[in-house]
C-alpha cells in the first residue's frame, strides 16, 4: 500500500477529532479576541479617563466584532486581497479541477476567486465547507501545470474539510481589529486625549501612575501579542493539509513540484499583509534578507519552511 493510500485509510475518528479541535480553537480564538479588545479598551479608558460608559461601549464593540469575525471574515479576507470571482472561459480548468476534487473529498464546491497578481499563491477562506471560498493568483494559474495546480487546490480543499479556514479567517479580523483599536488609542494619547486620564492618575498617587504606565504598555504590546497568536496557528496545519491534499490526488510529486516552484519564485503578493499571511499556501510576504520589514516578517512567519514540506512529500 502506498503512502497516499495509507493516509486515505487512516482512522476516521482521528479526522473527526481534528475537526473538533479546530472548532474549539475557533471558539477559543473568538473568546481571546473579545478579551483582547476589552483589555485594550480598558487601557484606553485608563489613559483618557472615559469612565464606565466607555468601558461598556468597548465591550459591546468587542462582542459585535466577534460576531462579525465569525460571519463576515471571509468577505473581509477576499476584499483585503482584492479577489474577484473566477468567471469566464479562461478559468475553466480551475473550475474543472476543483469540481473533481470536491467529488473525491465529499465537499460542496466552494466559491472560486482570482487575485490579479503575478506571484504564484493561493488561499482558502470561510467559516465551514458550506460557506467557503478558494482564491488563486493569476501567477499561480500561469505558472503551474495541471498536476501541480491540482495539488495546490487539493491542499486548499483540505483546509476547508479540516475547518482550518474558520480559525485562520477569524484570526485575520482579530489581528486587524486589535491593531486598529490600539492605533486609535495611541493617537488619542499623542494628540492630547489623555489629559483627563493623566489628571485622574496623578490624583490617585503612585499606584495611578503605575496603572497608567501598564495601560500604555498594553497598547504598545497588544498588536504583537495578536501576531504571536496568529503565527502559532498555522505551521502544523500546513503539514496536515499537505498530507491530506495528497490523499485526494494520490500523487505526492504533484504538490511537491508546485512547492518547489513556489520556493524558486521570490515574488511577493502585493495585496498581502501580516494579518492575512496565514491564509496563503506559502508566506506571501517579503523575507529576503536586507529588504524592509523582512526580519519582522520572518519573526512572525506563519508557515513551516518549504524545504521541510517538500522533503516530507518526497518521502511519501
Residues 6+ apart with CB under 8 A from 112: 85, 86, 91, 94, 95, 98, 133, 134, 135
Strand duo 84-85 + 131-137: pairing: unpaired
> What is the pLDDT of the chain when averaged over all its residues?
78
Q: Are 300 and 273 in contact (CB under 8 A)?
A: no
| Residue 149 to residue 44: CA distance in whole angstroms | 48
Least confident of 50-59, 148-157, 191-200, 222-231: 191-200
- Whether 156 is catalytic: yes
Least confident of 128-142, 254-268, 280-294: 280-294
Q: What is the mean pLDDT of residues 88-105?
A: 95
| Residue 196 to residue 189: CA distance in whole angstroms | 11
Confidence of residue 8 (pLDDT cuts 50, 70, 90): very low
Residues 6+ apart with CB under 8 A from 209: 201, 202
Catalytic position from the list 148, 150, 156, 238? 156
pLDDT at residue 87 tops 50 = yes
| Residue 15 to residue 68: CA distance in whole angstroms | 28
Alpha carbon distances (Å) from 289 to 255, 284, 299, 309: 27, 15, 12, 22
Question: What integer pLDDT is reported at residue 26 of this predicted model?
Answer: 65
pLDDT at residue 245 tops 70 = yes
The 8-class DSSP code of residue 50 comes to -
Confidence of residue 80 (pLDDT cuts 50, 70, 90): confident
Domain of 159 in residue numbering reads as 3-314
Confidence of residue 102 (pLDDT cuts 50, 70, 90): very high
Q: What is the tally of structural domains in the chain? A: 1
Owner of C-alpha cell 503578493: 269
| Residue 312 to residue 86: CA distance in whole angstroms | 32
Q: What is the mean pLDDT of residues 97-103?
A: 96
Confidence of residue 138 (pLDDT cuts 50, 70, 90): very high
Question: What integer pLDDT is reported at residue 109 of this predicted model?
Answer: 97
- pTM, two decimals, is 0.75
| Residue 315 to residue 313: CA distance in whole angstroms | 5
Least confident of 9-23, 72-86, 109-123, 211-225: 9-23
Three cell numbers, residue 245: 491534499
Three cell numbers, residue 10: 487512516
Amino acid at each position: 500500500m502506498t503512502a497516499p493510500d495509507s493516509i486515505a485509510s487512516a482512522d476516521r475518528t482521528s479526522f473527526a477529532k481534528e475537526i473538533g479541535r479546530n472548532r474549539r480553537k475557533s471558539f477559543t480564538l473568538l473568546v481571546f479576541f473579545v478579551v483582547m479588545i476589552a483589555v485594550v479598551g480598558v487601557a484606553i479608558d485608563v489613559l483618557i479617563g472615559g469612565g464606565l460608559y466607555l468601558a461598556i461601549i468597548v465591550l459591546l464593540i468587542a462582542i459585535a466584532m466577534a460576531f462579525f469575525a465569525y460571519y463576515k471574515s471571509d468577505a473581509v479576507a477576499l476584499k483585503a486581497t482584492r479577489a474577484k470571482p473566477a468567471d469566464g472561459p479562461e478559468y475553466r480548468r480551475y473550475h474543472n479541477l476543483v469540481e473533481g476534487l470536491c467529488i473525491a473529498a465529499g465537499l460542496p464546491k466552494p466559491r472560486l476567486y482570482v487575485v490579479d497578481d503575478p506571484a504564484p499563491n493561493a488561499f482558502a477562506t470561510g467559516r465551514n465547507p458550506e460557506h467557503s471560498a478558494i482564491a488563486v493568483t493569476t501567477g499561480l494559474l500561469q505558472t503551474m501545470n495541471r498536476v501541480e495546480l491540482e495539488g495546490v487546490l487539493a491542499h486548499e480543499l483540505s483546509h476547508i474539510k479540516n475547518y482550518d479556514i474558520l480559525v485562520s479567517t477569524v484570526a485575520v479580523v482579530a489581528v486587524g481589529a486589535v491593531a486598529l483599536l490600539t492605533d486609535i488609542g495611541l493617537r488619542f494619547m499623542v494628540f492630547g486625549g489623555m489629559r483627563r486620564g493623566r489628571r485622574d492618575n496623578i490624583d490617585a498617587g503612585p499606584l495611578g501612575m503605575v496603572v497608567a504606565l501598564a495601560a500604555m504598555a498594553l497598547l504598545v504590546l497588544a498588536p504583537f501579542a495578536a501576531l504571536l497568536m496568529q503565527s502559532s496557528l498555522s505551521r502544523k496545519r500546513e503539514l496536515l493539509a499537505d498530507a491530506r491534499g495528497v490523499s485526494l490526488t494520490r500523487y505526492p510529486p504533484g504538490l511537491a513540484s508546485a512547492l518547489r516552484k513556489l520556493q524558486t519564485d521570490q515574488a511577493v503578493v502585493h495585496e498581502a499583509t501580516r494579518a492575512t499571511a496565514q491564509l496563503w499556501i506559502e508566506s506571501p510576504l517579503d523575507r529576503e534578507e536586507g529588504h524592509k520589514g523582512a526580519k519582522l516578517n520572518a519573526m512572525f512567519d506563519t508557515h513551516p519552511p518549504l524545504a521541510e514540506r517538500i522533503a516530507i512529500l518526497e518521502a511519501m
